[in-house]
């Protein structure tokens, strides 16, 4: 087995465990053999429609068996996967397609706007939903069913460990989202580290509620296929009791969540009868309060392990993990570095600090990204001398356990989403009746934070509707402010910058 290629590993696994269940939903199951065969067909289809090695293919598909088939089929064709939030609006999809210079776009559902634009930009469209198209635009539009029915071949592209595997767009601290470039080597190293500390085997099965387009969900997907385990695709977290019921009936051995997942489960479901097969749970995606961690531990059966973890998209996913047996005596810590990651705490000048001193967390290792796609200035700010500047501050205790003390930026964390307030203000300020706005995160019982926007402009019911409608058109649901407040003015610094932290 070559560690450098998750695709090659998948081929070995799918041969060895051909009849084992790989993917399961409430209505269907797919064995490793069946999954491989469908990937072979769709990979062949991509080549047929002109996708070449190194090309970017944008994937705007909800968590599903089709998402996973498409993802590995893109790799089979030698191309690069660019997953986006399936709820992304037209403008966001268009921006990502253009920024990544993608040649192909795969969507749950195409819209007339996208058909027209893709036609102009000469981008192929593949629609998962069966729709009829205008005859003038059908040249570059394809149906997913045709991709699944394509003849298969055994020509699986051989990737180098340093070839680009994936671009994950992440909210940056300034301006537009940045495309994190991860190679096949980056992903494979990090997957191996995660598999090792979670001790994942083919006997494991995960009930997954995390979106695959984020690095946390992405790592769940690849780690399980890496060992030949089963991925059970769960529905939305909107109905927590159904998730708990499925945990019991499916006999899943693993469950992954962000703090809001556990907050919802504990407050909105009956957890008193611990799912008997649940071997472990993991938590990442932002700090979880000590009280919630303790409550979760108390709710779980003693035999269920809880892994607290910390990472970044820029690090493929995972930087640290807290061994479950140390959870109680290191409560509040995100643990120790994963096997192939090295961490340092540095001061503002970049000097290394000794334990107990608070500074910025720097990371190094084979899982660290190559940089931001087509953004050398952002890359130069974040990567230097082989180290990643995480933007998080924290300290090591005397035993080498990392404690985070917040971020050095204004990013807002809503559930699993990192949100840049500047990006939202840019959208909101486009409305004529708004002169300026400021978005902040306020504490929320379930989501960690929720969005509140302060508006300076002409207040009326019509304008409130217009603002909500505008947000709905240009922003996905998780980026739409839940609270809107009107103000006569916003507090500013002498240089005119909004003092975000002073607004309440």
- β-bridge partners, 448: 444
**Pairing between strand 205-208 and 254-257?**
parallel
Helix (H, G, I), strand (E, B) or coil at 146: helix
Residues 408-427 that bind other proteins (CB under 8 A): 415
Q: Cα–Cα distance between 99 and 50 in angstroms, integer?
A: 20
Residues contacting residue 206 through CB under 8 Å, at least 6 positions apart: 220, 224, 229, 230, 231, 232, 252, 253, 254, 255, 256
Enter the tokens of residue 210: 């995390």
356 touching other proteins, by CB under 8 A: no
Give the shortest CB-236-to-other proteins separation in angstroms.
6
Part of the chain binding other proteins (CB under 8 A), chosen from 17-25, 138-146, 262-270, 382-390? 262-270
Of the ranges 47-55, 139-147, 225-233, 467-475, which one interacts with other proteins (CB under 8 A)? Answer: 467-475
Check residue 25 for interaction with other proteins (CB under 8 A).
Answer: no
Nearer to other proteins, 323 or 476 (CB): 476
Question: Strand pairing partners for 57?
Answer: 81, 104
Q: Which two tokens stand for residue 325?
A: 């047996």
**In the complex, least distance from residue 422 CB atom to other proteins, rounded to whole angstroms:** 22
Q: Is residue 221 close enough to count as binding other proteins by CB under 8 A?
A: no
State which of residues 42, 81, 110, 264 lies at the interface with other proteins (CB under 8 A): 264
Could you give the 3-state DSSP secondary structure of residue 288? coil
Q: How far apart are CA 209 and CA 261, in angstroms?
A: 9
> Least Å distance between CB 266 and other proteins?
11
Counting contacts by CB under 8 A, is residue 77 touching other proteins? Answer: no
Q: Which of 303, 465, 492, 502 binds other proteins (CB under 8 A)?
A: 465
Q: Closest Cα to residue 467, out of 478, 488, 482?
A: 482
Residue 267 in 3-state DSSP?
helix
Q: Which is nearer to other proteins, 269 or 409 (CB)?
A: 269
| H or E segment to which residue 293 belongs | helix 290-299
Judged by CB under 8 A, the stretch of 49-57, 88-96, 112-120, 465-473 that binds other proteins is: 465-473
Q: Which is nearer to other proteins, 241 or 357 (CB)?
A: 241
Residue in 18, 37, 152, 269 binding other proteins, rule: CB under 8 A? 269
The correct pick among 64, 87, 274, 409 for binding other proteins (CB under 8 A) is 87
239 touches other proteins (CB under 8 A): yes
State yes or no: residue 468 binds other proteins (CB under 8 A).
Answer: yes
Residue 195: both structure tokens together: 């598999």
Closest-CA residue to 178 (of 370, 362, 375):
375
Q: Does 108 bind other proteins (CB under 8 A)?
A: no
Closer to other proteins by CB, 322 or 471: give it. 471
Contacts of 12 (CB under 8 A, 6+ apart): 1
Stretch that binds other proteins, among 143-151, 164-172, 307-315, 445-453 (CB under 8 A): 445-453
CB atoms inside a 10 Å sphere around CB 79 = 25
Integer Cα distance of 331 and 244 in angstroms: 25
The residues binding other proteins (CB under 8 A) are 87, 235-242, 264, 268-270, 415, 446-447, 450, 465, 468-469, 472, 477-478, 482
């Amino acid at each position: 087995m070559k560690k450098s290629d998750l695709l090659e590993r998948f081929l070995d696994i799918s041969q060895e465990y051909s009849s084992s269940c790989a993917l399961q939903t409430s209505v269907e199951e797919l064995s490793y053999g069946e999954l491989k065969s469908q990937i072979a067909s769709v990979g062949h289809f991509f080549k047929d429609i002109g996708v070449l090695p190194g090309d970017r293919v944008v994937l705007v598909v909800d968590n599903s068996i089709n998402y996973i088939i498409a993802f590995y089929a893109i790799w089979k064709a030698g191309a690069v996967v660019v997953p986006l939030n399936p709820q992304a609006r037209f403008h966001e999809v268009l921006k990502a397609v253009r920024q990544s210079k993608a040649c192909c776009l795969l969507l749950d559902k195409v819209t007339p706007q996208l058909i027209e634009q893709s036609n102009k930009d000469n981008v192929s469209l593949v629609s998962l939903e069966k729709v009829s198209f205008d005859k003038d635009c059908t040249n570059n539009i394809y149906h997913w069913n045709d991709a699944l029915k394509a003849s298969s071949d055994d020509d699986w592209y051989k990737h180098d460990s340093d070839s680009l595997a994936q671009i994950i767009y992440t909210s940056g601290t300034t301006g537009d989202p940045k495309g994190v470039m991860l190679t096949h080597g980056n992903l494979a190293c990090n997957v191996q580290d995660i598999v090792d500390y979670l001790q994942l085997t083919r006997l494991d099965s995960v009930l997954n509620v995390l979106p695959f387009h984020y690095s946390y969900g992405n790592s769940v997907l690849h780690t399980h296929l890496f060992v030949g385990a089963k991925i059970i695709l769960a529905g939305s977290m909107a109905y927590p009791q159904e998730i708990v019921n499925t945990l019991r009936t499916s006999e899943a051995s693993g469950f992954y969540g962000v703090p809001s997942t556990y907050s919802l489960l504990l407050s909105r479901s009956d957890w008193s009868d611990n799912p008997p097969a649940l071997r472990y749970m993991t938590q990442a995606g932002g700090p979880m309060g000590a009280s919630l961690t303790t409550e979760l531990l108390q709710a779980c059966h003693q035999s269920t392990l809880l892994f607290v973890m910390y990472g970044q998209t820029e690090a493929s996913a995972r930087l640290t993990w807290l061994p479950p047996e140390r959870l109680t005596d290191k409560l509040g810590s995100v643990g120790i570095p994963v096997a192939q990651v090295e961490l340092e705490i540095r001061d503002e000048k970049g000097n290394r600090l000794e334990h107990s001193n608070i500074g910025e967390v720097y990371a190094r290792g084979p899982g660290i990204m190559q940089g931001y796609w087509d953004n050398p200035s952002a890359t130069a700010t974040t990567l230097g001398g082989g180290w990643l500047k995480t933007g998080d501050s924290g300290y090591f205790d005397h035993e080498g356990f990392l404690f985070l003390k917040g971020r050095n930026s204004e990013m807002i964390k809503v559930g699993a989403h990192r949100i840049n307030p500047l990006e939202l203000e840019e959208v909101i300020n486009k409305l004529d009746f708004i002169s300026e706005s400021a978005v902040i995160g306020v504490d929320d019982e379930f989501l960690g934070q929720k969005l509140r926007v302060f508006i300076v402009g002409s207040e009326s019911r019509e304008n409130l509707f217009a603002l909500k409608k505008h947000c709905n058109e240009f922003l996905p649901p998780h980026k739409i402010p839940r609270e809107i407040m009107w103000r006569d003015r916003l507090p500013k610094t002498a240089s005119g910058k909004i003092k975000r932290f002073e607004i309440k």
